[in-house]
Amino acid sequence: MRLLWRSLRGLVPHHRPHRRFLSTTTTSGGGSRNNDHQEQQWKQDSHKWSSPGSRTEKLLYAAYWAGGLALGFHWLSDGRTPVLAEPKGELSEDEQEARARLWHVTHRKDLPNYKTDQVEQHNCAEKGIWITYGLGVYDVTDFADNHPGGDKILMAAGSAIDPFWAIYQQHNTLEVLELLEGFRIGNLEGAELTPGVSAVENELGSPWANEPERHVLLKPASKRPFNAEPPIGLLADQFLTPNELFYVRNHLPVPVISAEDYELEIESGSSEKGTLTLNLDGIKALPKHSVTAAIMCGGNRRSEMTKVKAVKGLSWGAGAVGNAKWSGARLCDVLRKQGVQPDESKHVIFEGADLDPTSHPYGASIPLSKALDPRGDVILAYEMNGEPLSRDHGYPIRVIVPGTVGARNVKWLTRIVVADKESDSHWQQNDYKGFSPSTDWDTVDFRKSDAIQAMPVTSAICTPQPGARVRPDDDDGHITVRGYAWSGGGRKIVRVDLTSDEGKSWHVAELEQEDSPDGRHYGWSLWTARLPISEAQRKAGGGDVEIWAKAVDSAYNVQPEKFEHIWNLRGVLANAYHKVKVKVV
Ligand code: MTE
């Protein structure tokens, strides 16, 4: 098993062992530890989730998930494996869901048993791809090509997916579990599982044991990894988004990094120049530069696009964006210090300290031209709105690439490489790319699309919110509408237009924005419009009015009207007109 695991890991290009970062205050397993103990514990812990570990560990993971869902069901003990009792009468939707979520910890008497070594033999497409999850054995050979996460599924071929799903918890949905059960071919022989076990995360070495606390107002799109946006109604209240309300987009557990242990490696791409290593003080000693920049997730407003046709990805509202003043050292200063020349390479790769289950870090890259341009304002940021970065936003250092999709703004930055090729990370190669509306999961070829860098122009109405009952401000029937607008690539917002009659008449909003030069206008613009709703219009629709907003940037790019024509299977670049239905009373 270990051999198989190692050889699978070897298939992944550019594997590089990573340093672990430790805080001096972390507690684990019930008490404070010193650094050495922590290091040991972390290594053990990370081993548990970066490699398959023992069968018992895997089953405990499964039990951990299943434990909370067992409510309302009877468990019969069939020797060592639990069996779900036949339901008595009709099940409610919630009960059906809870039951479906327990399939993988259920011994199915209608299916044969398989031993671990039988499963291990089915570890590639030629021999068939088998995986186990909890007590279930599944043949996913036919599904592997359609796996939304690409060939990552092969990392679990012939073994358990439990440790992977402990990280990629987006799999823990009814839809996925139902799909998986459709591929069930048997039960794993000799697997032990105690129903209802509530595993203690720290004892299990869960990668989620050290997640930071979050503001209660952040609405999670997923809890593990943590992804959340603030209520959209609050977003346009302040020009600089308060740090604790700034959306969070994590693909992996938040790494624990202490300021003392932090190091950043910079490889210039040429062996003569060697590797430059900077610690936190070294970065802070460089000239400090500040830039106001909005960071927007490539999937912001995906929940609107998915209404046209289902897309895969977290269902973000319009709040996966925030605007902050970032401060740090200029990347161009650091690269020049290393003697990097504009024509020597094409890309700059960034790696974070957050590791996936194969010990690969989160990574992304940007063009070298952007990184070297002093007016590109790329910074190694240690401050957000005058405060040290919080753990969720990349403590102690993240790269800020103004005007560029959030995915390239790598947090917990540990390594920078000047290279001829883009980052080979999953997030650069197989995610955050746009496609034609006609491309589907059968025809998609991620190699043929460019990675998103600068984002397109967009806007959103923050108040009133959908379904709100709105009272006009004056006798003329004006209502006040507020929102944000932003465009990538440093393009300034020059206008925001609003209509309440499907475009028969438009009203121009007032803009609140920073006075920075076009081409370097990286912050968002907030806007306010007073929209007249005539008595006749109100009466005609029984008070129902749909408000539309569209922004125009300094290149006179305008938002497209409909999602239909920009639909793409990953639900990125969702920048059609923002439309909000309200009742004017
Ligand atoms: N950097 C690391 N190391 N790991 C991540 O998961 N997520 C990226 C980017 N940088 C990510 C990362 C994505 S997709 C986005 S949208 C932004 O961080 C979100 O930044 P925020 O969480 O500070 O708002």
Q: What is the pLDDT along the chain (585 residues), one digit of tens a residue?
A: 232 222 222 222 233 333 333 222 222 222 222 333 323 332 333 322 222 233 433 333 333 333 333 322 222 223 333 444 455 567 676 666 666 667 787 888 889 999 989 999 998 888 999 999 888 999 999 888 777 766 667 778 898 888 677 767 778 777 888 889 899 999 998 765 433 333 333 435 678 889 999 998 998 999 889 999 999 999 999 999 999 999 999 999 999 999 999 999 999 877 677 899 999 999 999 999 999 999 999 999 999 999 999 999 999 999 999 999 999 999 999 999 899 999 888 999 999 999 988 889 999 999 999 999 999 999 999 999 999 999 999 999 999 999 999 999 999 999 999 999 999 999 999 999 999 999 999 999 999 999 999 999 999 999 999 999 899 988 889 999 999 999 999 999 999 999 999 999 999 999 999 999 999 999 999 999 999 998 889 888 899 999 999 999 999 999 999 999 999 999 999 999 999 999 998
Q: Determine whether the shortest distance from the Cβ of 250 to ligand 1 is under 6 A.
A: yes
The residue whose CA has the least distance to atom 13 of ligand 1 is 407
Q: 450: which 2 tokens?
A: 């460019």
pLDDT at residue 87, rounded to an integer = 56
Using a cut of 0.85, tell me whether the model's pTM lies above it.
no
Q: Determine whether the shortest distance from the Cβ of 411 to ligand 1 is under 6 A.
A: yes
Please indicate, yes or no, whether residues 438 and 484 belong to a single structural domain of this protein. Answer: no
First to last CA, the chain: 67
Q: Which of 250, 326, 351, 387 to mutate to test the pocket of ligand 1 (most atoms within 8 A of CB)?
A: 250
The residue whose CA has the least distance to atom 5 of ligand 1 is 250
pLDDT at residue 273, rounded to an integer = 77
Amino acid identity at 438: S
The residue whose CA has the least distance to atom 12 of ligand 1 is 410
Rounded CA-CA distance 178/101 in Å is 8
Rounded CA-CA distance 240/260 in Å is 30
Q: Which of 409, 413, 428, 452 to mutate to test the pocket of ligand 1 (most atoms within 8 A of CB)?
A: 409
pLDDT at residue 192, rounded to an integer = 53
Q: Which CATH number fits the domain that encloses residue 136?
A: 3.10.120.10
Q: How far is the CA of 367 from the centre of ligand 1 (A)?
A: 18
The helix or strand, by DSSP H or E, that contains position 94, with its residue range, turns out to be helix 93-100
Q: How far is the CA of 345 from the centre of ligand 1 (A)?
A: 25
pLDDT at residue 344, rounded to an integer = 85
Please indicate, yes or no, whether residues 394 and 491 belong to a single structural domain of this protein. Answer: no
Q: Determine whether the shortest distance from the Cβ of 268 to ligand 1 is under 6 A.
A: no
pLDDT at residue 175, rounded to an integer = 80
Q: How far is the CA of 407 from the centre of ligand 1 (A)?
A: 6
Q: How far is the CA of 252 from the centre of ligand 1 (A)?
A: 10
Cα 183 vs. chain centroid, distance in angstroms? Answer: 28
Please indicate, yes or no, whether residues 482 and 375 belong to a single structural domain of this protein. Answer: no
Angle at 497 between CA 493 and CA 502, to 5 degrees: 145
Cis? peptide before 287, omega within 30° of 0: no
Whether residue 453 is contained in a domain is answered as: no
The domain boundary, picked from 167, 188, 209, lies at 188
The domain boundary, picked from 448, 476, 495, lies at 448
The domain boundary, picked from 188, 217, 249, lies at 188
Please indicate, yes or no, whether residues 370 and 466 belong to a single structural domain of this protein. Answer: no
Q: Determine whether the shortest distance from the Cβ of 302 to ligand 1 is under 6 A.
A: no
Q: Which CATH number fits the domain that encloses residue 342?
A: 3.90.420.10
Whether 399 contacts 380, CB under 8 Å: yes
Whether 62 contacts 133, CB under 8 Å: yes
Please indicate, yes or no, whether residues 142 and 13 belong to a single structural domain of this protein. Answer: yes
Rounded CA-CA distance 416/330 in Å is 13
Q: What is the 3-state secondary structure (H, E, C) of 322-368?
A: EEEEEEEEEHHHHHHHCCCCCCCCCEEEEEEEEECCCCCEEEEEEEH
Cis? peptide before 357, omega within 30° of 0: no
Please indicate, yes or no, whether residues 420 and 546 belong to a single structural domain of this protein. Answer: no
The residue whose CA has the least distance to atom 19 of ligand 1 is 249
Please indicate, yes or no, whether residues 405 and 476 belong to a single structural domain of this protein. Answer: no
Please indicate, yes or no, whether residues 362 and 494 belong to a single structural domain of this protein. Answer: no
The helix or strand, by DSSP H or E, that contains position 257, with its residue range, turns out to be none
Q: Determine whether the shortest distance from the Cβ of 362 to ligand 1 is under 6 A.
A: yes
Please indicate, yes or no, whether residues 514 and 444 belong to a single structural domain of this protein. Answer: no
Whether residue 229 is contained in a domain is answered as: no
Q: Determine whether the shortest distance from the Cβ of 248 to ligand 1 is under 6 A.
A: yes
Catalytic residues: 147, 171, 249, 297, 432
pLDDT at residue 277, rounded to an integer = 96
Whether residue 571 is contained in a domain is answered as: yes
Whether residue 215 is contained in a domain is answered as: no
Please indicate, yes or no, whether residues 438 and 465 belong to a single structural domain of this protein. Answer: no
Amino acid identity at 554: S
Ligand 1 atom at minimal distance to the Cα of residue 427: 14
Q: In degrees rounded to 5, what are phi and psi of residue 470?
A: -115, 130
Whether residue 255 is contained in a domain is answered as: no
Q: How far is the CA of 251 from the centre of ligand 1 (A)?
A: 7
Q: Determine whether the shortest distance from the Cβ of 444 to ligand 1 is under 6 A.
A: no
Q: Which of 170, 226, 251 to mutate to test the pocket of ligand 1 (most atoms within 8 A of CB)?
A: 251
Whether residue 237 is contained in a domain is answered as: no
Please indicate, yes or no, whether residues 78 and 178 belong to a single structural domain of this protein. Answer: yes
Whether residue 17 is contained in a domain is answered as: yes
Angle at 352 between CA 348 and CA 356, to 5 degrees: 120
Ligand 1 atom at minimal distance to the Cα of residue 297: 16
Q: Determine whether the shortest distance from the Cβ of 249 to ligand 1 is under 6 A.
A: yes
Q: Determine whether the shortest distance from the Cβ of 455 to ligand 1 is under 6 A.
A: no
Cα 111 vs. chain centroid, distance in angstroms? Answer: 37
Q: Determine whether the shortest distance from the Cβ of 18 to ligand 1 is under 6 A.
A: no
Q: How far is the CA of 391 from the centre of ligand 1 (A)?
A: 11
Whether residue 250 is contained in a domain is answered as: no
Q: How far is the CA of 463 from the centre of ligand 1 (A)?
A: 27
Residue numbers of the domain that contains 17: 2-188
The residue whose CA has the least distance to atom 11 of ligand 1 is 250
Number of domains in the chain: 3
Please indicate, yes or no, whether residues 479 and 412 belong to a single structural domain of this protein. Answer: no
Ligand 1 atom at minimal distance to the Cα of residue 432: 14
Cα 189 vs. chain centroid, distance in angstroms? Answer: 36
Rounded CA-CA distance 104/166 in Å is 14
Return the number of other C-beta atoms located less than 10 Å from residue 261's C-beta.
Answer: 18
Q: Which CATH number fits the domain that encloses residue 485?
A: 2.60.40.650
CA-to-CA separations, 238 to 20, 116, 384, 526, in angstroms, rounded: 37, 57, 15, 9
Q: Which of 21, 235, 243, 249 to mutate to test the pocket of ligand 1 (most atoms within 8 A of CB)?
A: 249
Rounded CA-CA distance 579/499 in Å is 10
Q: Determine whether the shortest distance from the Cβ of 46 to ligand 1 is under 6 A.
A: no
Q: How far is the CA of 398 from the centre of ligand 1 (A)?
A: 9
